[in-house]
Amino acid sequence: MEAYVPNTKYHTILIIESNAAFGERLSGALKKEGYKTILIKSGSQGFDAILNNKCDLIVLDVILSGTDGYKILQQKQANALVAHVPVFLLSIQGIQINMNLIPAKSVAEFSVSAHPDVVDIVSRINLRFGYTKNDGNKAPQSEVSEPSVDSRKKILWVEDDKLIGTILGKKIITSGFNLLHATNGEDALKAVKNFIPDIIVLDLVLPGISGFDILRKIKTDSALSKIPVMILSNLSKPSDIEKAKMLGVQRFFVKAALSLDQIIEEINNMIK
C-alpha cells in the first residue's frame, strides 16, 4: 500500500530541539511523510533560525541548551515578520509548561510527555496541514498554498491528579481532540484566555485557586462566559452540584461514576 505524501512545496517545518536523538527521530519521521525539515540543535541559535528560514510550522521544545524555548517564543512574538508562524510547543521531559511565560495566542499545539510519541506528533502535524490517512493515500483537504486550520476541537482540562492526568489525557488525545492540560487554577485561567477552548473539563478541588473560583472568573468575562463547562470531580454533595450549576456548569459528573469512554461521549455530546 503506497503511503501518502504531503506537498513539500508548502510545508517546511523548523524543529528547535537540543535533544539530538529525539530531534533527529522527529525530523526523519517528518521527512518520510514528505515534509522539508530544518533541525536546529541549540536554543541559542533558535531565534536566528526562525528569522533566516521561511517555514510553515515551528516545533519548539521549552527545555533547550543556551536559550530556553520560552525566550525564543517571546522573541518571535515580538517580531512582526515571524509572529504569525504557528508553533507546536513541546516539553519532552514531561515538565509542565509554564503558561505565565507564554505570550497570548502564540502557540497552536502542545505536547507534554516524559516519553514523547513521534508518531502522535507527526499525526497532529498532518492534521494541522489538512492531511488525513485514507487507505494510505494522499488526501489533503485542499490544494492551496496556505495550510488549513486545525479542525480538532480544543479541550482545556484542569486536573492536578497525575495518574488521572496520564490516563485520561492520552484518551482525550487519541479520541481526536487538541488537549491543553492545566494542573492548577492559575495556569487554567491563563490558558483559557490565550486559547479560548471549545470546552472546559474542570476539577473543583485544585491547588491554589479552586474550581469554583475559576468558574466565577470565567462566567463574569463576556469573552469566555459561553464556553461550555463539564465538572469532573470527587465532590458529590447536592450543595456542590447546585453551586456549580448556579455558576453556569452544563454537566456535573463524579470521577468514579464514569468510564473513560463515557467521559469522551459526554464531551462529544456537549460540543455537538
Q: By residue range, what is the domain housing residue 100?
A: 12-128
Using a cut of 0.75, tell me whether the model's pTM lies above it: no
Q: Which three cell numbers stand for residue 53?
A: 528560514
More confident residue, 121 or 96: 121
Reported as type and span, the H/E element at residue 60 is strand 57-61
What percent of the chain is modeled with pLDDT above 90? 48
Residue 134 located in a structural domain = no
Instruction: Assess if residue 177 is contained within a domain.
Output: yes
140: in domain:
no
Contact 228, 202 (CB under 8 A): no
Question: Does residue 67 carry a pLDDT above 80?
Answer: yes
Residue 31 has pLDDT above 70, yes or no: yes
Q: Are residues 100 and 175 in the same domain?
A: no
Query: End-to-end CA distance of the chain, in Å?
Result: 35
pLDDT band at 162 (very low <50, low <70, confident <90, very high): confident
Half-sphere exposure of 264 (CA within 13 A, CB side): 16
Cα separation, 220 vs 217, in Å, equals: 5
Inside any domain, residue 149? no
Q: Is the pLDDT of residue 143 over 70?
A: no
The answer to whether residues 80 and 168 belong to one domain is: no
Collapsing DSSP to helix, strand or coil, 265 comes out as helix
Question: Can you tell me the distance from the alpha carbon of 106 to that of 267, in angstroms, rounded to the nearest whole number?
Answer: 26
Rounded CA-CA distance 41/180 in Å is 26
At 94, the pLDDT band (50, 70, 90 cuts) reads low
- Dig out the grid coordinates for 231 from the structure: 465538572
Assign 75 a pLDDT band (cuts: 50, 70, 90): very high
Distance of alpha carbon 157 from alpha carbon 180, whole angstroms: 6
* 140 vs 261, higher pLDDT: 261
Structural domains of the chain, count: 2
Who's near 104: CB < 8 A, 6+ residues apart?
Answer: 193, 194
- Over 70: is that where the pLDDT of 147 sits? no
pLDDT tens by residue, 175-216: 888 888 888 888 899 888 887 899 999 999 998 899 999 999
Shared domain for 112 and 177, answered yes or no, is no
Question: Could you tell me if 166 and 85 lie in one domain?
Answer: no
103 and 18 belong to one structural domain: yes
Could you report the per-residue pLDDT of 44-58, keeping only the tens digit for each? 999 999 999 999 999
* β-bridge pairing 12-16 and 199-202: unpaired
The helix/strand/coil state of 96 is coil
**Is the domain of 96 the same as that of 193?**
no
Residue 176, in any domain of the structure: yes
116 near 19, Cβ under 8 Å? Answer: no
- The reported pLDDT for the residue numbered 2 is 41
pLDDT band at 132 (very low <50, low <70, confident <90, very high): low
Residue 39 sits in the same domain as residue 122: yes
